[in-house]
Amino acid sequence: MINIFSRYKLIFYFFNFVLIFLYLFPGSFLGCYLYDDCLKQPQITSDFVVSSNHLYAFFILSVVGFLTFKRRSVFKILSIYLISLSIILELFHFIIPERSFELSDLFGNLIGVIIVIFFSFFLIKNENYKN
């Protein structure tokens, strides 16, 4: 199962495309499809201090990214990419109509990425220690 991600990088690129599309769509693409209301955002779970939808989205993207690119040499580049993507996409909400920048969304993005980076870092360290 895990090997499929490293073989087919297309999965990671597809997840990136879908996330970027949903993030930059003016209004809510999923709201248009599910509720016939482009201003209504679907909510997976209720928000706590951070936006749960954003945390889940970037958590999943990060897991797929680190399963796809398992080499230690790519760890730093992928970490920088995911953190930058989470910040840049949220900053675009300043200029996209029907979207608004929110700190809770930004923190949800960052926490989703940082959780996976933290665990991946320790898994890589553990593998190096065993060898």
Q: What is the pLDDT of residue 30?
A: 67
pLDDT over 90 for what percent of the chain?
A: 40
Q: What is the pLDDT of residue 78?
A: 94
Average pLDDT of span 34-57: 75
Provide the Cα torsion 80, 29, 52, 101; round to 10°. 60
Q: What is the pLDDT of residue 47?
A: 66
Q: What is the pLDDT of residue 113?
A: 96
Residues with Cβ within 8 Å of 90's Cβ and at least 6 positions away in sequence, in order, are: 101, 102, 105, 106, 109
End-to-end CA distance of the chain: 23
pTM, two decimals, is 0.83
CA–CA distances in Å: residue 77 to residues 26, 69, 81, 106: 30, 10, 6, 20
Q: What is the pLDDT of residue 109?
A: 94
CA–CA distances in Å: residue 47 to residues 81, 101, 127: 26, 16, 35
pLDDT tens, position by position, 68-77: 887 778 889 9
Work out the number of other CB atoms within 10 angstroms of the CB of residue 74: 14
Domain that holds residue 96: 2-130
pLDDT tens, position by position, 5-20: 667 788 899 999 999 9
**Residue 104, both tokens:** 């809770």
Instruction: Tell me which DSSP letter residue 94 carries.
Output: G
The total domain count for the chain is 1
